[in-house]
Amino acid sequence: MGRLSAAAAVVVLLGAWELYARAGGIDELVLPAPSAIGETLWTDRGLLAENFVVTATEIAGGIALALVLGCALAVALHVSRPLRGTLYPLLVASQAIPIVILAPLLVIWLGFGVLPKLAIIGLVCFFPVVVTTLDGLRAVDPDQRKLLRSMDASRTALLRFVELPAAAPAALSGARIAVAVAVVGAVFAEYAGSSKGLGHLMLQAVPQLETPRAWAAVVVLATFSVTLFTALGALERRLTHNAGGSP
Amino acid sequence: MVLRDVERVFTTGRGRRTKRIEALAGLTLRVQPGEVVAVVGPSGCGKTTLLELVCGLQAPDAGAVEAAPAVLMPQRDLLLPWMDALDNAGLARRVAGASREEARVAARPLFAAFGLEGFEEQRPAALSGGMRQRVAFLRTLLAGKPVLCLDEPFGALDALTRAEMQAWLACALATDPRTTLLVTHDVEEALLLADRVAVLSSRPGRVVAELEVPAPRPRRATDSALVALREQAMEALWAG
């Protein structure tokens, strides 16, 4: 039912867009009709695929990086109260740095390769991972901690056997939120300086008056982020289901 | 195990709003090795605090607690939902540094004895309330500590399962005697399971009566000796 209504919404939206574009409501160089974008998707498939691989690698790598760093940071903040007091405000502040400013600087610093992209995507993605994972770690039942203490469990044992497994779904939940910002981050990173990738393709397509190509790249990116979002959601459900959290 | 003149005070709030709550005051209790002592008392009389003192999870503000290493079995089973029954039962072993395989090998033979055979690989969500409580008890036993502290172990079960589990625990303690401190608000449960019943007063808790339960096992709640003791215990509870 949900899927059906989602499909219906897309059809209605595309239909309205198509009608508006065909009625001459807007210059096709600004907003091409969906049919024109669809055509470009097909004719430029080689070009799109080639650049998609580049951007998808950056996004997947950036999210993986954010997951690893985010979880490690969340554990550190969880274990040490002074660290939490000192670093948490800085983490929040790090999210206020506009990527538009940061991206070109990172390109100067790290070059035109994949590194500045990973750094930017990692930067915009790790924050939701830290927040959700930290909440997951702290949500562990106090009685559960008491039980482990009565077994003489060390801090490491408590983390390993109770807190980390309990927080794993929360970390994935954070990664899911990160997917949405990762795509925007990747495009910005490529804008700042690159020779390939979907963001680079968009940047070139607009001044070349190839607007349908830019839109086709958007469609590819959007599809990718929906897929990634769904996959992470499925993984998270699997973890919670294994935990018997939901019937 | 000896608790001598134990006092425990909690403070809540800050500044002028500070409130002192005396949980235990002048509590004295002795437990012989291998003895099962039940502690009954009105709710909020510091029973859980008493167990946490014995387990070393809290320190007394005055008095002394001398106890061999003790392990806690809380009211809720607190089984880890992502581990199967066998891993849950062997948790204390793994926490102590054993490998997963070693812990499973240690836990497996006890499953048959505890009526859990065939459920080794099930996750807690697939087990009934009584079974989960038995796995939790197994986990407590496998911690390998000389003293067991049971905090209302059957409080969350329905009446029928509860009666079954009481009979089962009596049997388990008869075959493998352990020094046990059993906290409960159910006088009947205390009399069915314990060698001795300590009655606590309302807050601040102290022992107002100690009743020996000499009745032979297996016991039934309707045994005349138990009925008489029950009267005595209830009177002590009302008076305290």
Question: Cα(B8)–Cα(B19) distance, rounded to whole angstroms?
Answer: 14
Each domain of chain B, given as residue ranges in start order, spans 2-69+146-239, 79-145
Least CB–CB distance from B57: residue in A150, A154, A157: A150
* Residue among B78, B100, B133 with most chain A CBs within 10 A, to mutate: B78
* pLDDT for residue A167: 94
pLDDT greater than 70 at residue A244: no
Minimum distance, in Å, between the CA of residue B143 and any CA atom of chain A: 7
* pLDDT for residue A241: 67
Alpha helices in A27-98 (DSSP H): 34-43, 45-79, 81-94
Angle at the Cα of A108 from the Cα atoms of A102 and A109, rounded to 5 degrees: 85
Q: In terms of CA atoms, which chain B residue is nearest residue A247?
A: B125
Mean pLDDT, chain A, integer: 90
Minimum distance, in Å, between the CA of residue B202 and any CA atom of chain A: 24
**Chain B neighbours among A 134-153 (CB < 8 Å)?**
141, 143-144, 146-153
Minimum distance, in Å, between the CA of residue A70 and any CA atom of chain B: 23
Going by C-alpha positions, the residue among A114, A127, A21 that lies closest to residue A71 is: A127
Q: In terms of CA atoms, which chain B residue is nearest residue A144?
A: B78
* Angle in degrees, 0-180, between the axes of helices A45-79 and A198-205, rounded to the nearest 10: 130
% of chain A with per-residue pLDDT over 70: 97
pLDDT greater than 50 at residue A245: no
Mean pLDDT, chain B, integer: 87
* pLDDT for residue A243: 61
List chain A residues with CB under 8 Å of B143. Answer: 150-151
pLDDT greater than 80 at residue A176: yes
Minimum distance, in Å, between the CA of residue A63 and any CA atom of chain B: 25
If one looks up domain B2-69+146-239 in CATH, what number appears? 3.40.50.300
For residue B162, the 8-state DSSP code is H
Among A127-136, A193-202, B32-41, B141-150, name the most confident range.
A127-136
CB atoms within 10 A of CB B84: 19
Which SS3 state, helix, strand or coil, does residue A187 take? helix
Question: Cα(B100)–Cα(B91) distance, rounded to whole angstroms?
Answer: 9
Can you tell me the mean pLDDT for A195-213? 90
Contact B72 A144 (CB under 8 A): no
pLDDT greater than 50 at residue A246: no
Q: In terms of CA atoms, which chain B residue is nearest residue A165?
A: B82
Q: Is B50 part of the contact surface with chain A (CB cutoff 8 Å)?
A: no
The helix (run of H) or strand (run of E) holding residue B90 is none
**Is the bond into B81 cis (omega within 30 degrees of 0)?**
no
Span B133-181, pLDDT tens digits: 989 999 998 998 889 999 988 887 888 888 888 888 888 888 888 899 9
Q: Between A127 and B18, whose confidence is greater?
A: A127
Q: In terms of CA atoms, which chain B residue is nearest residue A157?
A: B95
Q: Which sign, positive or negative, has the C-alpha torsion B65, B69, B73, B78? A: positive
List chain B residues with CB under 8 Å of A244. Answer: 81-82, 123-126
Report the b/e string of B94-127 with b at 16+ CB within 10 A.
bbbeeeeeebbebbeebbeebebeebbebbbeeb
Question: Identity (one letter) of the amino acid at B121?
Answer: E
Q: Which CATH superfamily groups domain A51-242?
A: MetI-like (1.10.3720.10)
Can you tell me the mean pLDDT for B46-59? 88
Q: In terms of CA atoms, which chain A residue is nearest residue B82?
A: A243
Q: Is A165 part of the contact surface with chain B (CB cutoff 8 Å)?
A: yes
Question: Cα(A146)–Cα(A151) distance, rounded to whole angstroms?
Answer: 9
- The length of chain A, given as a count of residues: 247
Question: Cα(B190)–Cα(B179) distance, rounded to whole angstroms?
Answer: 15
List chain B residues with CB under 8 Å of A143. Answer: 74, 76, 78
Q: In terms of CA atoms, which chain A residue is nearest residue B69?
A: A150
CA distances from B61 to B51, B97, B118 (A): 15, 33, 47
Span A15-30, pLDDT tens digits: 999 998 888 778 888 8
Contact B78 A152 (CB under 8 A): no
Going by C-alpha positions, the residue among A196, A193, A200, A203 that lies closest to residue A109 is: A193
**Chain A neighbours among B 137-176 (CB < 8 Å)?**
143, 149
Question: Cα(A222)–Cα(B123) distance, rounded to whole angstroms?
Answer: 38
* pLDDT for residue A132: 95
Question: Cα(B227)–Cα(B65) distance, rounded to whole angstroms?
Answer: 33
What is the value of ipTM here, to two decimals? 0.85
pLDDT greater than 60 at residue A247: no
* Residue among A143, A145, A151 with most chain B CBs within 10 A, to mutate: A151
Instruction: Copy the structure tokens of residue A211.
Output: 């607007």
* pLDDT for residue B233: 83
Place A242 in a pLDDT band, splitting at 50, 70 and 90. Answer: low
Q: Is A161 part of the contact surface with chain B (CB cutoff 8 Å)?
A: yes
The helix (run of H) or strand (run of E) holding residue A241 is helix A211-242
Q: Is B71 part of the contact surface with chain A (CB cutoff 8 Å)?
A: yes
